[in-house]
Amino acid sequence: MNLIFLGPPGAGKGTQAKRLAKEFDLKHISTGDILRDAVKSQTPLGMKAKEYMDRGELVPDELIIALIEEVMPEGGGVILDGFPRTIKQAEALDELFDKKSLKIDRVILFDAPDEDIVQRLSGRRTCPSCGAVFHVKFNPPKEDEICDRCGTKLIQREDDKEEVVRKRLEVYRKQTAPLIEYYEKRSILVKLNASKGIEEVYGELLSLLR
Ligand code: AP5
C-alpha cells in the first residue's frame, strides 16, 4: 500500500502517519523530518534548506525530488507525509512510481480549520533526539516538557512561531492546495475530517482505508 498524506501544516499528518506506519508495517517518509535531521547534522542539503524552512517557504523542488528518489524503497509500502507539495513534485513522483511499477493507492486529505491549526502548532512540542511529537494540551507528555520515549527535554520548532505559521498556511494555499484537484481528477483522493481528537481521527482514517 502506498499512501500520500496531504493537508495544511499542523493538521495531524505526522501524528497519524507514525501510528499507521507502525500498525501496518509501512515506511513513514516525512520530508519535513528528513530535512530537520539534515539541518541538525549540517549536511549540504540541510544548509541549503534551512533558510527556506525558517521563513516558512518551500525548499526548491529539485532538492526535494532528489531526496525522495534516494529514500524511496524499491517495492514501495510507504506513507508520504509532506510530499508532494507542488504540482512539479507530484509529476516527479508519478514518473518515479512508473519507473518502479508502483501506484498511489490513496491520497488522504487532512481537513482542519485555521483556528485548530494555529492552536495545534502553538502547543506542539517535539523531541530533538527521537522525533516524538506532543502537544501541551491535546497530547501532553507524562512529565512536563520531557520526552516520554527517551527522556530528552522537548523543544518548540522554530517554524511554529505564529508569524511563520501564517506564512506556511499561505504557502499551502498557493502551492500545495492545487494538488487536491490533481488527485481528485484521478479519483484517488479521500477527505478526512482532521478536526476531531487524535483517537477519533485515527478511527476514521482506518475506516477510509478499509
Ligand atoms: P513539515 O515538517 O512537513 O511541516 P508541515 O506539513 O507544515 O506539517 P507539520 O509537521 O507542521 O504538521 P502535521 O500535519 O504533521 O501535524 P502534527 O501531527 O505534528 O515541513 C516543514 C518545512 O519543511 C516546510 O515548511 C518546508 O520548508 C519544508 N518541506 C517539507 N516538505 C517539503 C516539500 N515536499 N517540498 C518543499 N519543502 C518541504 O500535529 C501538530 C500538533 O497537533 C502536534 O502537537 C500534535 O500532537 C497535535 N495534534 C495532532 N492531531 C491532533 C488532533 N486530532 N487533535 C488535537 N491535537 C492534535
Q: Compute, in angstroms, the gap from residue 11 CA to the centroid of ligand 1.
A: 7
Mean pLDDT of 22-37: 96
- Is the Cβ atom of 18 under 6 angstroms away from ligand 1? no
Catalytic residues: 13, 85, 124, 157, 168
Q: Compute, in angstroms, the gap from residue 108 CA to the centroid of ligand 1.
A: 14
- Contacting residues for 200 by C-beta, under 8 A, at least 6 apart: none
pLDDT exceeds cutoff 90 at 81? yes
Spatial strand order in the sheet of 106-111:
27-30, 78-81, 3-6, 106-111, 189-193
- Please report whether residue 65 resides in a domain: yes
Q: What is the pTM of this model?
A: 0.95
* pLDDT 10s digits, 86-126: 999 999 999 999 999 999 999 999 999 988 999 999 999 99
Q: How many domains does the chain have?
A: 1
Percent of the chain past pLDDT 90, that is, above it, reads: 93
Q: Compute, in angstroms, the gap from residue 208 CA to the centroid of ligand 1.
A: 21
Q: What grid cell was written down for 56?
A: 516558512
pLDDT band (50, 70, 90) for residue 139: very high
- pLDDT at residue 210 in the model: 86
pLDDT band (50, 70, 90) for residue 158: confident
- Please report whether residue 106 resides in a domain: yes
- Please report whether residue 98 resides in a domain: yes
* pLDDT 10s digits, 162-183: 889 999 999 999 999 999 999 9
- Please report whether residue 32 resides in a domain: yes
Mean of per-residue pLDDT scores for the chain: 95
Structural domain of residue 107, as residue ranges?
3-112+174-209
Question: What is the CATH number for 91?
Answer: 3.40.50.300
**Residue with the nearest Cα to atom 2 of ligand 1?**
32
- Please report whether residue 85 resides in a domain: yes
- Please report whether residue 30 resides in a domain: yes
- Is the Cβ atom of 50 under 6 angstroms away from ligand 1? no
- Helix, strand, coil content of the chain in percent (nearest 5): 50, 15, 35
Percent of the chain past pLDDT 70, that is, above it, reads: 100
- Please report whether residue 129 resides in a domain: no
- pLDDT at residue 105 in the model: 97
**Residue with the nearest Cα to atom 5 of ligand 1?**
9
- Is the Cβ atom of 8 under 6 angstroms away from ligand 1? no
- Is the Cβ atom of 197 under 6 angstroms away from ligand 1? yes
- Please report whether residue 135 resides in a domain: no
